[in-house]
């Protein structure tokens, strides 16, 4: 698990209250995985992790997402059980219409 500094905050993926993989795709020299997390303060962030071949390396990073963006990512990834994400359930209908 990893810590990221984003703006004036530090998030630790080990302390997230929700976690789900929402994307994975091949790149020219490896694979990128995207995982959605909810911080202990209820903010959503997307972690980008890279598994690269040999010396072609990209640094892992994270970015903040709004609840609407998080709902869209979950919907696009085919996740339809929002019991762990009540605030996402509130906005999912707006995103999928």
pTM of the model: 0.78
Q: What is the pLDDT of residues 4-54, one digit of tens each?
A: 998 889 999 999 988 888 888 886 667 889 999 989 888 999 999 888 766
92 pLDDT higher than 70? no
Confidence (pLDDT) at 60: 86
Report residue 62 as tokens: 């994270």
- From residue 8, alpha-carbon distances to 4, 5, 11, 16, 64 in Å are 11, 7, 10, 17, 12
Confidence (pLDDT) at 58: 65
Q: What is the pLDDT of residues 40-89, one digit of tens each?
A: 888 999 999 888 766 656 688 999 999 889 888 888 888 776 666 666 66
Place of tokens 């997402």: 65
Confidence (pLDDT) at 53: 61
Backbone φ, ψ for residue 73 (5° rounding) = -65, -40
Place of tokens 């869209």: 72
The DSSP annotation for 11-22 comes to EEGGG-SEEEEE
Residues 72/63, Cβ–Cβ less than 8 Å: no
């Amino acid at each position: 698990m990893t810590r990221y500094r984003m703006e004036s905050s530090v998030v630790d993926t080990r302390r997230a209250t929700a976690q789900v993989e929402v994307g994975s795709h091949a790149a020219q020299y490896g694979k990128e995985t995207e995982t959605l997390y909810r911080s202990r303060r209820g903010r959503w962030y997307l972690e980008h992790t890279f598994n690269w071949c040999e010396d072609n390396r990209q640094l892992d990073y994270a970015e903040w997402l709004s609840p609407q963006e998080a709902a869209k990512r979950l919907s696009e990834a085919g996740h339809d059980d929002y019991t762990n994400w009540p605030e996402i359930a509130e906005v999912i209908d707006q995103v999928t219409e």
